[in-house]
Structure 1
Amino acid sequence: MNRRPGSQITAAEVLSRAATLGNVDARGAVTIRDGSHAIFELPNGIVARIGKPHSYRTAQRELCISQWLNRNGIKTVEAVNSIPQPTVVDERPVTWWALIPDHRPSTPEELGRMLRRLHALTPPIEFPLPSYMPFDGLRESIESAIMIEEDDRTWLLEQYARLHQRYDELDDSLPPCVIHGDAWQGNLVVPTSGDPTVLDLDKVSVGWREWDLVQLAVDYTDFRRITDDQYQSFVDAYGGYDVTRWPGYRVLADIQELRWVGFALARSGTSQAAKTEAAHRIACLRGLVPKPWTWQAL
């Protein structure tokens, strides 16, 4: 259904109405992703990205970030300027982007190289970037989940409190920089042109560089999705800094994994697959499943 809390209509209905307002051909639209955003591929090489309710400013900022990063030599997905941006339907902003055909996820080396360049940028002065908020919405996802055992909810809330305290105790002298906020290999894609292209700009913010490094690091340490050589190529491409050797690594890794549980919980009320996956992820965090873990994408 692609329905989001606070919205009375589905994402497909939002798309249909937005396409009419923007004079866009949406016939035969194909769902690319139904995650925190609903994303559709349309005819004529256009991708529609539908935001959460009341996220107009975030959508505006994504458009600005795309232009700013491209001007600074970091290629990103580009907006279709011939369509009004963003188009708002039922309090949900719809942004329109140029399709990137025939692409693959980046390698760890390509991801490390891009992050090194991104983290070296001076934050923009034309518009403000928000501070990265690692716990934003997480407690609410746990408390509001309806397809969860109460014992698991209690443990998750206690784990949330433990991690929040440990996070507050970390060295706060780390210099902040521009970060992507969701830096995994699928958010840096490589088309046949060979130019790695950054996707999903809604979490670009100012924060510790470690937040961008931790996602691939847990792929290595906790899931074994990449080999020793692949992880070392990521470290080398970034400039030699290995976040797994940083004393605060485990705190950030545990927070990141709790966030991934929260994402599954948020979808579990309308998806049996998400409910099953959420239960599995909770069992992993509670030590009932040995590492390396295998988690299914949602």
Structure 2
Amino acid sequence: MCRSLGHMTEPLPGGFTSAELTALTTQARTELDLDGHEQQLLRGHTNAVVRIGPVVLKIARKGTTAPAVERTVALVRWLQEQGFPTVPLHSHHRQPLHLYGGALATVWTYLPQPAEPLAAADLAAPLATLHQLPTPPVPVRRLDNLRAIRRSLSATRTLDPDDMAFLRDRADRLERDLEQVAYVLAPSLVQGDPQHRNALHDSAGGRTVLCDWDTVAHGRPEWDLVTVEIHCRRFGHGPQHWVDFTAAYGFDVTAWSGYQTLRDIRELRMITTNARKARHTPGSLCEVQRRIKSLREDEDGLLWNIL
């Protein structure tokens, strides 16, 4: 039976309590001269993403350092200078905002979304463009997924010892397997977490734009492609989404010899990241445990619930 964090009664967007989040958004509304606009929490699993009238305020997760947010701002400004299809930073406000208690926020232009959701194929053009960009004049971390997985496991306090041992053993095996992987695509910038929810329609520009640059890194494009495939397969978008994406991008990562290793690493990272966050997101622990069970039983086609 799935265990739950019974002592938690509400999610903590960005790790902030309701009172803290109210204080931060109140301060931001005043600084941005948006007191006359209503606000809406759009996402809160990692960062607190709040729409306030014509802008979207993204309050970085508690504990995020200023240099990390400043690097993201600098990178997105560079992407905009390249004409890359990204959700734009709001040009009328200094970035990032420094809020109470050391909290940091970025301000983005709100893009109204049509009723028709994005398809996986819509991500192909911006991802292909990203993978061809030159090296930016901004420090970008190297993608190291096994290190990220182990860091999440070290910070996880919600799983039982048996599950923790299983995940650690799986990480060790996959690290050995990764040494044998022969990549075929050239190293490049990677978005890190390309998926249907990290892209938006830009109706004015008539294009799809990417968002959420917290995971950007220098690495192998195969990582981005495997991530899209997993989202198509695990989250109910259907096989046609993946077929259309592959045709639009021009490369089928599932036919590549390293696919299974990278797929397994990606799924493990998705599980361990959410296990680390589970204490702040009540209800997610059951899904994490369900995903671990699917790995134990080799259920590649089991649908996961989005977190």
TM-score range (shorter-chain normalised) is 0.7 to 0.9
How much is the aligned-residue C-alpha RMSD, in angstroms? 2.7
CA contact (8 A) 1:46 1:98 kept: yes
Aligned to 1:294: 303
Shift of 1:82: 2.2
CA change 1:26–1:190 in 2 (3 A) is same
Aligned to 2:6: none
CA change 1:278–1:47 in 2 (3 A) is same
Q: After superposing the two structures, state which structure 1 stretch, 253-262 or 46-55, moved more.
A: 46-55
Aligned to 1:30: 40
Deviation per CA, 1:36-90: give whole Å up to 9, x if none: 21100112x1110011323322222222222222332322111123222101232
Q: After superposing the two structures, state which structure 1 stretch, 275-284 or 81-90, moved more.
A: 81-90
CA contact (8 A) 1:16 1:26 kept: no
2:152 equivalent to 1:141 = yes
Aligned to 2:209: 197
Shift of 1:230: 3.0
Aligned to 1:60: 70
Shift of 1:20: 3.9
1:165 to 176, 191, 204: 176
2:166 equivalent to 1:155 = yes
Query: For residue 120 of structure 1, what is the amino acid of its counterpart?
Result: Q
CA contact (8 A) 2:85 2:126 kept: no
In 2, Cα distance between the equivalents of 1:99 and 1:5?
23
In 1, Cα distance between the equivalents of 2:49 and 2:122?
25
1:246 to 228, 237, 256: 256
CA contact (8 A) 1:39 1:48 kept: yes
Overall identity of the aligned pairs, in %:
25
Deviation per CA, 1:145-202: give whole Å up to 9, x if none: 2322211111111112222222234337863111111111221211444321111112
CA change 1:8–1:140 in 2 (3 A) is farther
In 2, Cα distance between the equivalents of 1:26 and 1:157?
50
Aligned to 1:79: 89
Query: For residue 41 of structure 1, what is the amino acid of its counterpart?
Result: R
Aligned to 2:3: none
1:175 to 186, 195, 200: 186
In 2, Cα distance between the equivalents of 1:208 and 1:80?
30
Query: For residue 109 of structure 2, what is the amino acid of its counterpart?
Result: A
TM-score with structure 1 setting the length = 0.87
In 1, Cα distance between the equivalents of 2:176 and 2:213?
29
Shift of 1:27: 6.1
Shift of 1:3: 6.0
Partner-residue secondary structure (3-state), 1:63? helix
Q: Which 5+ residue runs of structure 1 have no aligned equivalent?
A: none
Q: Which 5+ residue runs of structure 2 have no aligned equivalent?
A: 1-10
1:13 to 23, 26, 30: 23
Shift of 1:8: 12
Aligned to 1:115: 127
TM-score with structure 2 setting the length = 0.85
Query: For residue 272 of structure 2, what is the amino acid of its counterpart?
Result: G
Shift of 1:250: 1.0
1:230 to 234, 241, 250: 241
Deviation per CA, 1:199-225: give whole Å up to 9, x if none: 111222211010110012223455663
Shift of 1:264: 2.2
CA contact (8 A) 1:143 1:153 kept: no
Partner-residue secondary structure (3-state), 2:238? coil
Partner-residue secondary structure (3-state), 2:279? coil
Partner-residue secondary structure (3-state), 1:128? coil
Count of aligned pairs between the two proteins: 293
In 2, Cα distance between the equivalents of 1:169 and 1:201?
29
2:290 equivalent to 1:273 = no
In 2, Cα distance between the equivalents of 1:81 and 1:68?
13
CA change 1:275–1:221 in 2 (3 A) is closer
Q: With CA pairs under 8 Å and 6+ residues apart, which has the higher RCO, 1 or 2?
A: 2
Deviation per CA, 1:77-114: give whole Å up to 9, x if none: 11123222101232331011110112454322221122
